[in-house]
Amino acid sequence: MENWTQRILLKTTLLGMLLSSASNFALADATDKPLIEPDIHPQIVDESLIDTENFELGTFVGVISIEDFESSLIYGARLAYHLSEHFFFEGNVGFAEGGETSFEKLGNVQLLSDSERDYNYYNIGLGLNLPGQLFTPGGYTFNTNFYLVGGLGATEFADDNRLTVNFGAGYQVLLNDWLSLHVTVREHVYKIDLLGEEKNSFNTEVTSGLSVFF
């Protein structure tokens, strides 16, 4: 008799367990398929949609000392392409006007006509960035670059167009990721034969500028 009751009890519990597990399976099947399909599709990164900002365009203004022809205001534009975090290609155009030589002032003569005093240059070259940071009072931190530049170009002055070597250094403060301030000192060297014999003309330029990355 005892065996019978045991057997019945065991059978029912076993049946119950089987049933419940079966229903669990059924439930699991149901939860696999959500009632509401999410409105999100797996997003694949499309690099063509990511904006790249390797170009930098800017303007500058400053002073250039034109050998024998006083110091003048210079202004111009600069385009840079960043090859890597270290190197960049750079192109500049600059415009100034030569002053008078001491010979002209003392002798009351004109060596150059007004249009011949226009001083224009272009140059293309390579730059090296050395990154750093600037900490200002008030707890602000700016990324900076100290940079070295050098290149070749041409200077148009005194009705002549001369191959010009330029080299210099600058300091750039990045106000944010797209806007920056520059201070640059650059030497322009070219040969000139205006005052008789041919000689090297050294023209030092100090400029400050603003540039945007795009």
- Report, in Å, the least distance between residue 109 CB and another protein: 18
- Report, in Å, the least distance between residue 210 CB and another protein: 7
Residues 186, 213: contact at Cβ < 8 Å?
A: no
Residue number, 44 or 106, with CB nearest to another protein: 44
Q: What's the CA gap between 176 and 146, in Å, rounded? A: 16
Q: What's the CA gap between 92 and 185, in Å, rounded? A: 13
- Report, in Å, the least distance between residue 117 CB and another protein: 13
- Report, in Å, the least distance between residue 141 CB and another protein: 7
- Report, in Å, the least distance between residue 6 CB and another protein: 53
Residue number, 65 or 123, with CB nearest to another protein: 123
Footprint of another protein on this chain (CB under 8 A)? 41-47, 49-54, 57-59, 77, 81-87, 89, 93, 95, 118, 120, 124-126, 129-133, 141, 143, 151-154, 156, 159-163, 174, 177-178, 193, 210, 212-214
Two tokens at 53? 């900002």
Residue number, 76 or 168, with CB nearest to another protein: 76
E strand spans, 112-176: 118-136, 140-157, 160-174
Q: What's the CA gap between 65 and 98, in Å, rounded? A: 9
Residue number, 130 or 148, with CB nearest to another protein: 130
- Helix (H/G/I), strand (E/B), else coil: 8: helix
Query: Cβ of 180: how many Cβ atoms within 10 Å?
Result: 21
